[in-house]
Amino acid sequence: FLMHSHDDPEFGLGRLKPDVLVFDGEYPVAIVDAKYKRLRDLWPERPRGVDRADLYQLASYLSRFAPTGDAIGMLLYPQDPEQTTPATAEARGPWRTEAGHEVRFERLPLEPEEAVQALELLFAQDTAAFSIRSRTASVPIDQGAYSHA
């Protein structure tokens, strides 16, 4: 949850459930959320290609699951074959949060097999980064609390 009741800590508001959490042991190394809209600059709603609400959502996930900046955050979007120009968020990335998280905005192919291959490449590129991150600085995830609906 994003926050818990002061009087009843078991009661929470703002359930946080990213689409994908990638772990190295008990610590998250990547927090990924899929979007079902185009990653493109669109004035005035998305001047850099990313909805403000999506940025806040990813920032909340990163803050909750990797507060010390030890995980990579990604928003994944469908590829649009007609879109030849990358969005500003995509072209100027990767980005970095104040806590030190690396953040990426990526487009994936629409075909499932091609999307899986693209994801494998993304994670293969970050394997070295994952292996050098400090596991002592992260906060372990309470798996039971996360998995409850």
pLDDT at 105 over 80: yes
Whether 136 shows a pLDDT value over 60: the answer reads no
More confident residue, 126 or 130: 126
Which helix (H) or strand (E) segment holds residue 95: the answer is: strand 95-96
Nearest one of 17, 15, 18 to 2, comparing CA atoms: 15
Distances (CA, A) of 60 to 33, 63, 111, 124, 149: 12, 5, 30, 25, 18
- Between 11-20, 45-54, 70-79, 121-130, the lowest mean confidence (pLDDT) is in 121-130
Confidence category of residue 129, pLDDT binned at 50, 70, 90:
low
Give the Cα separation of 79 and 72 in Å (integer). Answer: 21
Indicate the residue type of 18: P
C-alpha dihedral sign at 72, 76, 81, 83: negative
Model confidence, pTM: 0.80
Those residues whose C-beta lies under 8 Å from the C-beta of residue 99, and which sit 6 or more positions away, are 62, 63, 67, 68, 69
